[in-house]
Amino acid sequence: MSNKVQIKPKDRDAVIQSLRAGVVPRSGQHLIQVGRVRELEALIQDLERIADGGSGIRFVIGEYGSGKTFFLSLVRAIALKKKLVSAHADLTPDRRLHASKGQTRSLYAELMRNLATRSKPEGGALASIVEKFVSSTMMAGRTQNVTPEVIIQERLENLSEMVGGYDFAEVIAAYWRGHDTGNDLLKSSSVRWLRGEFSTKTDAKKALGVRTIIDDTNFYDQLKLFARFVKLAGYEGLVICLDELVNLYKLSNTQARKSNYEQILRILNDSLQGISEGLGFVLGGTPEFLMDTRRGLYSYEALQSRLAENTFAGNGIVDFSHPVIRLANLSQEDLYVLLTKIRHVFAGGEPEKYLISDLGIQKFMQHCFQKVGEAYFRTPRSTITAFINLLAVLEQNPNVAIEDLIGKITIQQEVNPDLLPLEEGEVTNNNAGTLPEMLVDTEKEDYDNLASFKL
């Protein structure tokens, strides 16, 4: 590699240890980024539009192992560099976009825990954002020779016009009072409310004098409020990254899926119409989550019409302005470049410390191909882990020949968990036992029903 810039040991370890464990690094993603240039350019345009007061939404769709999580992580890192605030969370059975038993509030709380700024890229930036707002109002008060209360009241007036904005503004004002009087309890109560940690309205009224709390019913409205607030605090906007949306596809309850898809439709409409100022969404999911006409987003007609593919795209013709961005799996060439970058990071950015030659990397890839075929570069998590393990052994045993080690490498083909059998509750035929789901009319079983057999 021509890059002679040394990599800090902290950055090197963060990347290598994460990849070795099979997870996406939280920092240093640019050191191992491969391809996806036009996709990134499209997302960067979205970030710039959000910073200008617009809105945006993207569905990042890719097969299992195609690098969706890494791509979302890279987008967050770019957002922070552009002075936006980012928040991310994985959807799980306990964290959804719509629910009635606290799952949506749990998602909101997770987003607030992972709130990140350029100065706090690891998350936990909520308190510092509120503090920055207070500090900026105090500075503006001194400049205009008025009290900070007047400035705060003027700035929060815009929030009061939005749904739930009055109580949101009251909580920020309470934080200021706590800051001004040295009341740490009032400040911490305000931050707790913003994090969605109050479970009853009685506790919130007692602590802050507000009548509402953040719950399952006002999740999206609170995100729109917070996006407006971070602009008032001096940031460019808010970017929400949600991964593992396939967990909505897996919901066994049809009404629960529909309610979550309705929430996605609401977010999509607001984003496309520019209603949610300074707020952007990047959602990661699999092709099944998007295109399955029985359980996926396409099962909801309004979403299907908005997310349908451009009829002029295809056969090499692309449209990156579409809300859906499809990530192709890595090619062999991409994986080769990725392994050379990992080698470079492992050596701390010093080419003279490379532990394996280009020819050695090619032999390693050939061995992996013989073990699991094309899966070694299409779903490369196991391949990357094995490569880093190889480098670790070579580093500690310099006298060992690479050829002797490569033959001992075992690579297991990864299985997409999204293709595992559905929950038992999804089987509609009581006599089906453990068979895959069949949509069978128990009163009239004709051969036409075989068309709806689901593997």
Instruction: Specify the DSSP class assigned to residue 92.
Output: B
Residue with tokens 């990156």: 320
User: CB–CB of 320/362 below 8 Å?
Assistant: no
pLDDT at 408 (0 to 100):
67
Taking 50 as the threshold, does the pLDDT of residue 339 lie above it? yes
User: CB–CB of 105/215 below 8 Å?
Assistant: yes
pLDDT at 152 (0 to 100):
86
Residues 6+ apart with CB under 8 A from 384: 19, 22, 338, 339, 342
Q: Where are the domains of the chain?
A: 1-33+330-411, 35-124+236-327, 127-194
Could you tell me if residue 402 is left (phi over 0), alpha (psi between -120 and 50 degrees) or otherwise beta?
alpha
Residues 6+ apart with CB under 8 A from 151: 137, 140, 141, 144
Taking 50 as the threshold, does the pLDDT of residue 452 lie above it? no
Taking 70 as the threshold, does the pLDDT of residue 439 lie above it? no
Higher per-residue confidence, 430 vs 332: 332
- When the pLDDT of each residue in the chain is averaged and rounded to a whole number, the result is 84
Q: pLDDT-derived band of residue 421, with 50, 70 and 90 as boundaries?
A: very low
Taking 80 as the threshold, does the pLDDT of residue 445 lie above it? no
Q: pLDDT-derived band of residue 436, with 50, 70 and 90 as boundaries?
A: very low
Q: pLDDT-derived band of residue 420, with 50, 70 and 90 as boundaries?
A: low
Which class would CATH give 35-124+236-327?
Answer: alpha beta
pLDDT tens-digit series, residues 165-181: 889 999 999 999 998 88
pLDDT tens-digit series, residues 104-159: 999 999 999 999 999 999 889 999 999 999 998 888 888 888 888 888 888 888 88
pLDDT tens-digit series, residues 4-41: 678 888 889 989 999 888 888 888 888 888 878 888 99
